[in-house]
Chain A
Amino acid sequence: QKEVEQNSGPLSVPEGAIASLNCTYSDRGSQSFFWYRQYSGKSPELIMFIYSNGDKEDGRFTAQLNKASQYVSLLIRDSQPSDSATYLCAVSGNTGKLIFGQGTTLQVKP
Chain B
Amino acid sequence: DAGVTQSPTHLIKTRGQQVTLRCSPKSGHDTVSWYQQALGQGPQFIFQYYEEEERQRGNFPDRFSGHQFPNYSSELNVNALLLGDSALYLCASSFEGAYTGELFFGEGSRLTVL
Residue numbers of A with Cβ under 8 A of B are 4, 6, 8, 32, 34, 42-46, 49, 88, 90, 92, 95-103
The tally of CB-CB contacts under 8 A between chains A and B is: 58
Q: Which residues of A contact B40 (CB under 8 A)?
A: 8, 102
Residue numbers of B with Cβ under 8 A of A are 31, 33, 35, 40-45, 48, 55-56, 58, 90, 94, 96, 99-103, 105-108
Q: CA A2 – CA B18 in complex, angstroms?
A: 30
Q: Which of B41, B42, B55, B58 has most chain A Cβ within 10 Å?
A: B42
- With A32-B101, A46-B102, A49-B100 as known contacts, state yes or no: A100 contacts B31, CB within 8 Å: no
Q: Assess whether A101 is in contact with B42, with CB atoms less than 8 Å apart.
A: yes
Q: Assess whether A45 is in contact with B45, with CB atoms less than 8 Å apart.
A: no
Q: Which residues of A contact B56 (CB under 8 A)?
A: 95-97
- With A96-B94, A101-B42 as known contacts, state yes or no: A43 contacts B107, CB within 8 Å: yes
Q: Which residues of A contact B33 (CB under 8 A)?
A: 96-98
Given contacts A49-B100, A92-B101, 11 further A-B contacts (CB under 8 A): A4-B42, A6-B42, A42-B107, A43-B106, A44-B90, A45-B105, A88-B42, A96-B99, A98-B33, A102-B42, A103-B41
Q: Which residues of A contact B96 (CB under 8 A)?
A: 96
Q: Assess whether A102 is in contact with B102, with CB atoms less than 8 Å apart.
A: no
